[in-house]
Amino acid sequence: VSSYLSKLISQLHVLFLLFQILGAVILGFGIWILADKTSFIAVLQMSSPSLKTGAYILIGVGALTMLMGFLGCLGAVNEIRCLLGLYFTCLMVILITQVAAGLVIYFQKETVKEELSRIVGNLIENYDPLNYDERNLQDAWDYVQTQIACCGWTGAKDWEKNEFLINQSMTVYPCSCSNSSKDFEADSHFCHLDDPGNGTATYADWPVHEQGCMDGVEKWLKDNLGVILGVCTGVAVVELLGMILSISLCKNIHSEDYTKVPKS
């Protein structure tokens, strides 16, 4: 094997290792989405079938990426052009899919925002501490409001649509919205106003956070946008390098030798 081919193969080995790590991360992220029960992702996952489908897609992509790295490594070590060609084709398909998905999300961001508003709005409107079938979903939303220090999706006013609170004349409020940790009552999910006045109240009387969770989620995305874009760019660069090196190696292998395929 020439020194040029040896150099290409060594460079590809590094990329194959990166792809194994990348595949494991994507696979783990997909599993985490399905398993997570305490974050905003959990609220979306339990409320929207599309996110659950997306998690299965991530698991499939992660497994495919790891398999692809293995096949590419096998093709490079044994100088098998068909495996290197398959590796190049799979990389190209994944890269095109990623770019297409990014463009769809960018141009459909208002639709995504409306879908999130609908999901959270239905959750808040139907929130009932006596409904044990939805306890995991409600606990997840309580966790979000507590961690982000927010109330409702656009604000505390969203909770005025909740049937349970309406029946209580709004004299109780979500404990997870409280701006004082001493008010949190984990068993009831709702806290009682200290002074309900004439027996009725509005959300303006509640000692809760003014910020809606939508603003908190958007702020988190803006704060972490650089990291997200950096990771996506890094992945795309690694994929492009893999395509370039694999096709270069494939061109420099003069003939296929299928006798080099390891026998089982």
23-82 tens-digit pLDDT: 787 788 778 777 766 566 666 666 566 667 777 887 887 888 778 777 777 777 777 778
Would you state the pLDDT for residue 127?
A: 92
115-162 tens-digit pLDDT: 888 888 888 999 988 887 778 788 888 888 888 888 999 999 999 999
Q: What is the DSSP letter of 174?
A: E
Whole-prediction pTM value? 0.61
Angstrom CA distances, 196 to 21, 49, 201, 240, 242, stand at 57, 40, 6, 64, 66
Residue 205 has pLDDT above 70, yes or no: yes
Residue 255 has pLDDT above 50, yes or no: no
Of the ranges 90-104, 110-124, 158-172, the best mean pLDDT one: 158-172
Residue 163 has pLDDT above 70, yes or no: yes
Residue 165 has pLDDT above 80, yes or no: yes
Residue with more model confidence, 174 or 81:
174
User: What is the distance between the alpha carbons of residues 214 and 116, in angstroms, rounded to a whole number?
Assistant: 9
